[in-house]
A and B are shown apart, each in its own frame.
Chain A
Amino acid sequence: MDLSKYMGIFREESERNLKQLNDSLLALEQNPENMEHVNIVFRLAHTFKGMAATMGFKQIVELTHEMESLIEKIRTQQLKLDAPLIDLLFECLDALEGLVENACKNEGIKPGTGKTGEEEKSKTYPDPGEVLKALRTINTTTTTTTKEKTIGEQAFSRDKDGEAEEDRDNEEDRDSEEVPIYPDEETSPYTETREEVPETREGTSITESSSTAFQITEEGISIAEIEFSEKERAAMEEAEMDGAKVMVAHIALKATCLLKSTCSALVIRKISESGEIIRIFPDINELEEENFGLDFEVVFSTKKDEYTIKTEINNISEIEDMSLRSLSSEQGYGEAYKKTVHVHEKIPENLSEISPEISSEISSEISPEISSEISPEISSEISSEISSDSPSLEKIDFEPEKMEGEAVKGRKIPFFSKPDPKIKNIKSVRVSTEQLDKLMNLAGELVITRSRINQLTREFKSKELEETLSELRKLTREMQEEVIEARMVPLDHILNIFPRMVRDLAKSENKKLDFIIRGKEIKLDRTILDEIGDPLVHLLRNAVDHGIESPEKRLELGKKETGTIMLTASRQENYVIIKIEDDGQGIDTEELRKAAEEKGIISREEAEQLPDREAIQLIFTHGFSTASRVTDVSGRGVGMDVVKNRIESLGGSIKIESKSGKETRFELKLPLTIALYQAMLVEVGSERYAIPFTNITKNIEIRTEAVRHINGEEVIMENGKVLPLLRLHTLFGLPVEEREKLVVVVAEKAGQVIGIVVDRLLGKQEVIIKNFKSKLLEDTKGLAGATIMGDGNVVLILDINTLV
């Protein structure tokens, strides 16, 4: 099977599952009793195992298998989910994530999107071997999983590509556990299934076992002597009287059979459909617990003919071989049954590893007349001795008959005719982001072309033309909206790593906090989403590190011991607002002033005059940090100025509010999409420019006489504050017309407010930004790009942040 084509979906689904796993673990940390989440974790481990097994990722299979076992113990209340266990499960999650990433890398698949670069690049994953060891240590405290590991081993032996080497230690560990011949019944997790044993006849349960001298020797199973109970004998006689035959089916399972117990259950069910089951060797409990090699026998009565029964049983998968023989009352059923069971060639390895102690235990169970002959040394000879030397035993030839069923196994698809290939309806298609960008561009071009046609046809004054155009306008708008929508990704995509991150941070700093996320379904353009991950990480780190106080301090201050950090996203018209609030110590503006002064950012006088509201903006100044101590959490060299610049470069803005001792709140305002700009179109001389709307706080008109000069710079007084002016004419070398009044667009830029002097406001407009692709222009300061207007003219879009 070519598996490479499933790699993409494997990655996608894995990421989805990892995320879900993360969410559930976080929920469990809050409330370990929540069975719903325990079940989700269980199911996800199971799903992972299935997928990884299919892809042949052995390490993932091993890890998730142990995880599943562990959670099974929690589900069955053998284990209590406590903090260390949750930590271990988080470790599992991380290790799993590492393994998935590795697997993807090896298969040449890029790791998925939606991760904030800063966070993920530095992420180191725990050693899966270590995590596995830890899991196994817990899992082996009871015997639940020992047998299942044996099955696991079988599966791995089928593993074709041998992805990674087995941990030697672990392998040895397991080998030593693997002698589950007669496991302690008390410790068996399957005891509860015993009650569900099917009834053969009224009151005759198959579990009712009489003195079976049933032994497993090096050569396989040998049944030394069988005594049927009274009830069983009666059942057999009755059946014969009724015209039925009593038969013994000998079934040998394939050595590759993964769930022997279940296979045997299938056989037993099939037989019980054809007749009455009288006895099963070994008894049903042993079968269910897989305490048998590959062979078992069923004594039953039936009215069906041998051929039908053989066919039916052979139609069950995983059967290597089966044969039938009759028992009759004339010989006495017990006598007739005495025999040696033919040993299947492939003895599972663990059978040959029976320790002498176990063998001796077995021999003590064997009936007196032959037990004397059995000792550990001669156990290998026992079956042949029983069959040839012991006079009381009848040798029954057990040559398996070649059956029609064999032929069935060999055929591929003999029962179905080839149908016409059906083509499935495709409901979703994966589109590359580049393609989406291109589509967006084309939609933009279409809008522009439409505007041009609009202008060109104005002079025709044709009603039909106008109607068609209005239709075209509607269609292009719709198309544009759809394309924009297609580029939108829910915030959840990047938010999902935050709960875990915040949790880990809080833990490492011994802080107690609740982290609440609201509005993660809000969608944003993926370009913006890609960019805001790091800033959000930074803000959250700050909130944990500098915001929330230690539990002791909080109690001292009369606050709730557990702090709260809340991330709320909401949509406001064409913007998304993301708030990050914490109820920690807030920002001490006095300290800010002092630090700014020490760093020479502002003078003492300035510091003293600065109102609190503005002082707090100091944290956005380049090279400013008040962290009195540098922890590994903060102090990573990324300042708040970087955060602010990043947000503003996206056409967004960031605000901060804080009450010292009480709370801090950051508010990010982000455009929904980066490709569409809300802009104010302005005229300067004969030129038009677009100013991004996010930067604009207001427009004012002032009399020219109001302009003053400070240090040779033009300023005006606005609301009692100095507002520096910037004449676009001067900037772009355009002729200045003397006017009575000046039109000023007040724009905010990195915490600073400037007044941009223009000639005329042309109005608010949606523009499609075209970035400067050429090397020559890409670093142009003051310009974000250009847009094409309906008349075909190119208009430059100002970048307020780099304008001066």
Chain B
Amino acid sequence: MARIMIVDDAEFMRMVIRDILVKQGHEVVAEVADGECAIQKYQEVKPDLVLMDIILPDMEGTRTLQKLLDLDPEAKVVMCSSLGQKTVVMESIKIGAKDFIVKPFEPDKVLEVIEKVIVLDN
């Protein structure tokens, strides 16, 4: 079981992801809607993994990612994106995101990615 933080500005998406995660026994330790909160909350709850949308209201997901990694170089961040944001996803991988998931989320795929990211670094 992993302690996961969800960063997405859409409540709908957070709900969908949360349900997928909780169903498989993961714990959603925080849910935030923007980058600023993500950074703040990350330090508070120290999640095992962060699922973060690449486009956020206050700052780009990539900037948030960079800040998170500055704070904690070990941060495991998986980016979530829709189709068509290839460049940004690529950029985030270069910055240091561990993996990415493309919407629509398929539960198996989400879980597989989480599992691999967590295992990969242990």
A residues apposed to B, CB below 8 Å: 1, 6, 9-10, 12-13, 40, 42-43, 46-47, 49-51, 53-56, 61, 65, 68-69, 145, 147-148, 151-152, 155, 158, 189-190, 193, 196, 198, 258-259, 261-262, 265-266, 269, 288, 290, 312, 315-317, 408-409, 412-419, 421-422, 424
B107 CB → nearest A CB, Å: 6
**7 additional contacts, CB 8 Å, given A54-B103, A61-B83, A415-B119?**
A50-B81, A50-B103, A53-B103, A315-B116, A316-B99, A421-B22, A424-B28
B109/A412 in contact, CB under 8 A: no
CA distance A196 to B62 in the complex (A): 15
B15/A6 in contact, CB under 8 A: yes
B69 in the interface, Cβ–Cβ < 8 Å?
A: no
CA distance A147 to B10 in the complex (A): 27
- CB-CB nearest 6 A-B residue pairs: A53-B104, A50-B103, A416-B1, A49-B82, A54-B104, A258-B102
- If the complex has contacts A54-B103, A259-B102, A317-B112, are A47 and B10 also in contact, measured as CB distance less than 8 A? yes
Name the CB-closest residue of B to A66. Answer: B84
> Total contacts A to B, CB within 8 angstroms?
150
A46/B85 in contact, CB under 8 A: yes
B107/A1 in contact, CB under 8 A: yes
CA distance A43 to B25 in the complex (A): 31
A415/B115 in contact, CB under 8 A: yes
Q: Which of A40, A261, A409, A413 contacts B86 (CB 8 A)?
A: A261
- If the complex has contacts A9-B11, A265-B93, are A152 and B83 also in contact, measured as CB distance less than 8 A? yes
B86/A43 in contact, CB under 8 A: no
- If the complex has contacts A266-B93, A316-B99, are A65 and B83 also in contact, measured as CB distance less than 8 A? yes
User: Interface size (B, Cβ < 8 Å)?
Assistant: 50
A416 neighbours in B (Cβ, 8 Å): 1-2, 24-26, 115
Interface string of B1-14 (1 = CB under 8 A from A): 11000000111110
Q: Which of B53, B84, B93 contacts A69 (CB 8 A)?
A: B84
B116 CB → nearest A CB, Å: 5
- If the complex has contacts A416-B2, A416-B26, A424-B28, are A9 and B93 also in contact, measured as CB distance less than 8 A? no
Q: Which of A40, A148, A288 contacts B90 (CB 8 A)?
A: A288
A409 neighbours in B (Cβ, 8 Å): 112
Which of B57, B103, B104, B118 has the most A CB atoms < 10 Å from its CB?
A: B104
Task: Jot down 9 A-B pairs with beta carbons below 8 A, ordered by A.
Answer: A43-B56, A47-B13, A65-B84, A68-B85, A312-B120, A317-B99, A317-B116, A417-B1, A419-B27
Chain B positions 56-111 with a Cβ under 8 Å from a chain A Cβ:
56-57, 80-87, 89-91, 93-94, 99-100, 102-107, 109, 111
Q: Which of B25, B80, B84, B116 contacts A148 (CB 8 A)?
A: B84
A315/B15 in contact, CB under 8 A: no
CA distance A262 to B94 in the complex (A): 9
B103/A151 in contact, CB under 8 A: no
B22/A422 in contact, CB under 8 A: yes
Q: Which of A10, A61, A147, A190 contacts B12 (CB 8 A)?
A: A10
Q: Which of B12, B27, B100, B116 contacts A13 (CB 8 A)?
A: B12
Name the CB-closest residue of A to B90. Answer: A262
CA distance A46 to B100 in the complex (A): 16
B99/A148 in contact, CB under 8 A: no
B16 CB → nearest A CB, Å: 6
B residues apposed to A, CB below 8 Å: 1-2, 9-13, 15-16, 20, 22, 24-28, 53, 55-57, 80-87, 89-91, 93-94, 99-100, 102-107, 109, 111-113, 115-116, 118-120
B57/A259 in contact, CB under 8 A: no
CA distance A50 to B84 in the complex (A): 11
- If the complex has contacts A50-B53, A315-B119, are A259 and B100 also in contact, measured as CB distance less than 8 A? yes
A261/B120 in contact, CB under 8 A: no
B12/A258 in contact, CB under 8 A: no
A47/B2 in contact, CB under 8 A: no
B20 CB → nearest A CB, Å: 8
A6/B12 in contact, CB under 8 A: yes
B1 neighbours in A (Cβ, 8 Å): 416-419
A66 CB → nearest B CB, Å: 9
A9 neighbours in B (Cβ, 8 Å): 11-12, 15
B9 neighbours in A (Cβ, 8 Å): 43, 47
B26 CB → nearest A CB, Å: 7
A414 neighbours in B (Cβ, 8 Å): 115
A10 neighbours in B (Cβ, 8 Å): 12
CA distance A56 to B103 in the complex (A): 10
- If the complex has contacts A53-B103, A56-B104, A65-B84, are A262 and B12 also in contact, measured as CB distance less than 8 A? no
Name the CB-closest residue of A to B101. Answer: A317
CA distance A6 to B118 in the complex (A): 28
B93/A148 in contact, CB under 8 A: no
B41 CB → nearest A CB, Å: 15
B87/A190 in contact, CB under 8 A: yes
B14 CB → nearest A CB, Å: 10
A783 CB → nearest B CB, Å: 46
A489 CB → nearest B CB, Å: 19
A269 neighbours in B (Cβ, 8 Å): 93-94
Name the CB-closest residue of A to B91. Answer: A193
- If the complex has contacts A43-B55, A415-B115, are A50 and B10 also in contact, measured as CB distance less than 8 A? yes
A1 neighbours in B (Cβ, 8 Å): 20, 107
CA distance A50 to B83 in the complex (A): 8
B82/A53 in contact, CB under 8 A: yes
Name the CB-closest residue of B to A49. Answer: B82
B77 CB → nearest A CB, Å: 13
B55 CB → nearest A CB, Å: 5
A296 CB → nearest B CB, Å: 15
CA distance A269 to B26 in the complex (A): 27
A404 CB → nearest B CB, Å: 12
A317/B113 in contact, CB under 8 A: yes
CA distance A110 to B35 in the complex (A): 33
B83/A148 in contact, CB under 8 A: yes
B119 neighbours in A (Cβ, 8 Å): 315, 408, 415
